Structure 1
Amino acid sequence: MSLFALGINHQTASVALREKVAFSPESLLDAYQQLLAQPNVLEAVIVSTCNRTEIYGHVELENCQTVIDWFCGFHQIAQSELLKSLYCYHDEKAIQHLFRVSCGLDSLVLGEPQILGQIKQAFSTAGQAKSVSKLLNRWFQHAFTVAKRVRTETQIGANAISVAFAAVCLAKQIFSDLSKSRVLLIGAGETIELVGKYLVEHNVPNITIANRTLSRAMGLVEQFDAHAITLEEIPTHLSDADIVISSTASPLPIIGKGMVESALKKRRHQPMLFIDIAVPRDIEAQVGELRDAYLYSVDDLHGIIEENKQARQEAAIEAEKIIEDCIVDFCHWLESLKAVESIRNYRNNSELLRDELLARAISSLEKGGDPQKVVKALAFKLTNKLIHYPSQALTQVSQSGDDNELQILRSALGLNEE
């Protein structure tokens, strides 16, 4: 039996290829039914995100060709197109890969936490499809434990390495409790959308979105339960904001020094934080000269990001050590399964032998045999049969001269006990 992990990701394949082999939620149930119907496949979990499509599984033989054939057939893609981007790992390497993916060490953004949620969702879906049994259940539960340890024992996720995340982290450093802050977001592009998601995660209840066109802003309004205004309305609403984060494509500044001065007067000089992540800048540099106005540009954030990248790299080294230890633990558990199987086989063989000799003894008694002789014969034959193979093993080990192995065997047979 063998564990495997095969697939493609952002490191090995283009977006165009990843799109071709992505599993839609609607197709997963059918995919699992087909995959488990393949010869040799015992269990499987399918992970499909924008950056990776992977299949983790348990097969009878260390050969994934059946799964590769099915994978290409299901997505109607030629193997020649896929194989150059496909990776396939077995056993310890497969275990390591799942652990690294779950911890965010294999992600486009090092240490990002979203992948763990995606792995958990994939595992849950596989459970609903009844494609997970004892081995994969233990493997994935172990992966979740590893990821939790890495998050707890290292700083892998503590430092922002995206502009949007860095902006929110900076705001949190200055306003320790963002749930009491009022935020004005200027723009409605991808960066502002990501900023909005992070703000919602920090329980910010009061978000206003300013955009040139309200129609574009309305999608974010619904997503974040926010309020929308036009850029022309900013001067009226600026004084209501504790934090202003701006990212537009405007060629000219949207917020000037005079506008901020007026807002500060209305606020009775309560501090305001301005984070300008636009290029060209949306907020005039002179705003930073004002008392009670704190202005940070995208360059300031990039400085923070570079420092944090280095911190995450250092944390990743610690994470790899944790993963190595956890791989050893999981492999020990796998080895213990072999012992369980061996014990089961040994017990079954012994019981079969017992039943066979007992049946002979009962037959002899039914034919009028002397009960005392029959019982003695049963005991004699059963003892000889049971000690035959252990006796052979003791003889072979003694002749080999391996004292250590001899002591292990003696201990297993209870011969070292007083």
Structure 2
Amino acid sequence: MRSYHISKHNSFYAIGLSYKKADAEVRGKFSLDVLGIDQIMTNAKEQGIDGLLAISTCNRTELYGFAQHPFQLIKLLCDQTQGSVEEFQEVAYVYKNHDAISHMFKVGTGLDSQILGDFEIISQIKQGFYRAKKQQMANPFLERLCNAVIQASKRIKNETELSSGATSVAFASVKYILNHVEDISKKNILLFGTGKIGRNTCENLVKHSKNSHITLINRTREKAEDIAGKFHLTVKDYGDLQTEIRKTDILVVATGAQLPTVSKALIYPKKPLLILDLSVPKNVSDDVKELDNVSLVHLDQLSQITDETLNKRKTFVPKAEAIINEVRYDFLKWLETRKFAPVINALKEKLNTMKAEEIDFQSKKISDFNEDQAEIISGRIIQKITKQFANHLKSSGVDSQDSLELIQKVFQLEIDSK
């Protein structure tokens, strides 16, 4: 049987690190861009791994895949990032088989997010699956699992209020600004980076600060202009970054760069400057803290903000977990069926061959032999026998792997690996 069946020979693993044990600096070392994910897929394929999914966000980097040992996946990640195996092992988690499946459900439904109920992660799982499929690394198991997690996420959104209220990294950053800056409507705000977090922050800033002195800068000017147009904001060129930083009161950095883009050399603060770094890896160098007028706050500090909205969300966790259990149960039922389907099909084929031989023998031996009746009766008996075996394999408390091996041995079955 192929490796997308959870078996004794190949196991399904989730390996990774997240905000829970790894700070932004460590997470930054293990973060992956699209090219990095594609390279991991290529390397995995060369090693004979036939199912792999990678996700990398500001809060976590994870690989979900099949291996004989989780170290295969850990090495794939470490070879493609700045982090070492030793650093990974200090903060990492490794889940196997059913625990790995449960972990993906928890992550994909926002229960494991840095801000509870933040559903951004599900789009990362969709994106990860798309990349895996493009690289021919999405086997039927991964496809079915991702679809199940997406289904659970949709149901939780529709049937609970786990994601109700405005709580996200973007909202937390705006809330911080509102709480720590007086006369916000009169301050100059500069947003550097217009990815998803940058866009959401911009939207929240406009909505909650009543401020029109917001300037956007992005490496690709067109992306900044798209957002600026919606809110009638100013756009400046990437080359103007230093000049604009020196003019602003609040700098929000939300770029996706792998190295810091804002350093002490860019800043010449004659007045107080608040910098919010919403990027992983960190995009603002720590040396800016040496400047007297500068305050630097990172994403990890913002995510600790708790309020009524988050407390309300916690009350919906049991309902969300019940939905996950339902969807996961259906997935595991499918998995069990898939695991023994080749053996049941091979058994049916073997019994049908025996039936055909016996009917052929009896039709020559008995003069008034009724072949049609014999066909119907023996067909029904075969149906009942195979159903009996299938029910046995489905029942709890049965070691299905041992049973499958015994059935194959007794009936001398040849299993089609396809």
Q: Which residue of 146, 157, 160 corresponds with 1:151?
A: 157
1:208 paired to 2:212: yes
Matched, 1:6 2:6: no
Q: TM-score, normalised by structure 1?
A: 0.57
What does 1:16-415 align with in structure 2 at a 5 Å threshold?
Answer: 16-39=25-48, 41-59=49-67, 63-75=69-81, 78-161=84-167, 165=171, 186-189=188-191, 197=200, 200=203, 208-210=212-214, 222=225, 223-225=227-229, 226-228=232-234, 306-353=307-354
Q: Aligned in 2, Cα 1:86/1:210: closer, same or farther, shift over 3 Å?
A: closer
Call closer, same or farther: CA 1:251–1:70 in 2, change over 3 Å: closer
CA distance 1:339–1:184, change in 2 (3 Å) = farther
Deviations along 1:13-38, whole A, 9 cap, x unmatched?
A: 23333233322212333321221332
Task: Give the residue type in structure 1 aligned to 2:47.
Answer: Q
- CA shift in 2, pair 1:35/1:312, >3 Å: same
1:151–1:157 contact (8 Å) kept in structure 2:
yes
Would the alpha carbon gap of residues 221 and 137 (structure 1) be closer, same or farther in structure 2, given more than 3 Å must change? closer
Residues 330-359 of structure 1: CA deviation (Å, up to 9, x unaligned):
21222222342332121232245457778x
Worse-matched range after superposition: 107-116 or 9-18: 9-18
Q: Does structure 2 conserve the Cα–Cα contact (< 8 Å) formed by 1:43 and 1:132?
A: yes
Indicate if the aligned counterparts of 1:4 and 1:94 stay in contact, CA closer than 8 A: yes
Q: Is the 8 A contact 2:110 2:121 kept in 1?
A: yes
Tell me the distance in 1 between the aligned counterparts of 2:172 and 2:27.
29
Q: Kindly provide the CA deviation profile for residues 227-266 of structure 1, in whole angstroms up to 9, marking residues without a partner as x.
A: 3399xxxxxxxxxxxxxxx9689979xxxxxxxxxxxxxx
Of structures 1 and 2, the one scoring higher in RCO (CA 8 A, sep 6+) is 2
Q: Rg larger in 1 or in 2?
A: 1
Unaligned runs of 5+ in 2: 7-11, 176-184, 237-248, 252-268, 273-292, 294-302, 393-418
Alignment deviations for residues 26-76 of structure 1 (CA, whole Å, 9 cap, x no partner): 23333212213324x3311111222211111245x5x42332343334447
How far off is 1:188 after superposition? Answer: 1.6
Unaligned stretches of 5+ in structure 1? 170-182, 231-245, 253-279, 281-301, 398-418
Residue 329 (structure 1) shift: 2.2
CA distance in 2: counterparts of 1:76 and 1:313, whole angstroms:
36
Distance 1:27 1:372, change over 3 A: farther
**Secondary structure in 1 matching 2:47:** coil
2:109–2:122 contact (8 Å) kept in structure 1: yes
The Cα offsets for residues 139-186 of structure 1, whole Å up to 9 and x where unpaired, read as 0001001001111111111122358527989xxxxxxxxxxxxx9984
Work out whether residues 161 and 305 of structure 1, in 8 Å CA contact, stay in contact via their aligned partners in 2: no
> What displacement does 1:8 show?
1.3
Q: Does the residue aligned with 2:50 lie in a helix, a strand or coil?
A: strand
Paired with 2:169 and 2:57, the residues of 1 have a C-alpha distance of 22
Taking every aligned residue pair, what percent have the same amino acid on both sides?
24
Amino acid at match of 1:79: V
Amino acid at match of 1:91: N
Code of the residue aligned with 2:118 in structure 1: it is E
Instruction: Give me the whole-angstrom Cα distance separating, in 2, the residues matched to 1:140 and 1:83.
Output: 26
What do you get for the CA RMSD once the two structures are aligned?
5.0
Counterpart AA for 2:322: K
Q: How many residues align?
A: 304
Distance, in Å, in 1 between the alignment partners of 2:233 and 2:131 is 36
Change in CA separation of 1:203 and 1:164 when aligned onto 2, cut-off 3 Å: closer
C-alpha distance 122-185 of structure 1, shift in aligned 2 (>3 A): farther
Match of 2:416 in 1: none
Q: Secondary structure at the match of 1:188?
A: strand
Alpha-carbon distance in 2 for matches of 1:128, 1:156: 32
